[in-house]
Amino acid sequence: QVQLVESGGGLVQPGGSLRLSCAASGRIFSINAMCWYRQAPGKERQLVARIIKAGNTYYADSVTGRFTISRDNAKNTVYLQMNSLKPEDTAVYYCKQVVLTTGYYEYDFWGQGTQVTVSS
């Protein structure tokens, strides 16, 4: 009933930048929270950043000052601007959107994941 499509991953050198996007479509009444997670090989998935409908944001300590999360409510899209990338940022990045559907039920929906590789 709701689909998320991510884009923007790739290979970048240390110190470089990437911008991830995640667009939601389907039976959406409103989107309460939009989040980015990442999962490196052999590690658990961790929350990287979150933005709620009012615009308040949260960042993991490891990305504070380097990553910026933003949202376009009209487009049901969340972005993650990643600057000063480090090799330890290498992971599959997933977006999650907490959606209130047109049936007035709230669900978590996940994107398919996009690979970010930081390497020289």
Instruction: For 50-60, write each residue's pLDDT tens digit.
Output: 999 999 999 99
Taking only Cα atoms into account, the Rg of the chain, rounded to an integer number of angstroms, comes to 14
Calculate the average pLDDT of the chain: 96
Q: Look at residue 104 in the predicted model and tell me its pLDDT.
A: 85
Q: Look at residue 87 in the predicted model and tell me its pLDDT.
A: 97
Q: How confident is residue 62, by pLDDT bands cut at 50, 70 and 90?
A: very high
Span 98-111, mean pLDDT? 91
- Tell me: the pLDDT tens digits for 7-52? 999 999 999 999 999 999 999 999 999 999 999 999 999 999 999 9
Span 58-75, mean pLDDT? 97
Q: Look at residue 41 in the predicted model and tell me its pLDDT.
A: 92
Give the whole-angstrom CA distance, residue 108 versus residue 106. 7
Report the share of the chain in percent with pLDDT over 70.
Answer: 100
Span 57-82, mean pLDDT? 97
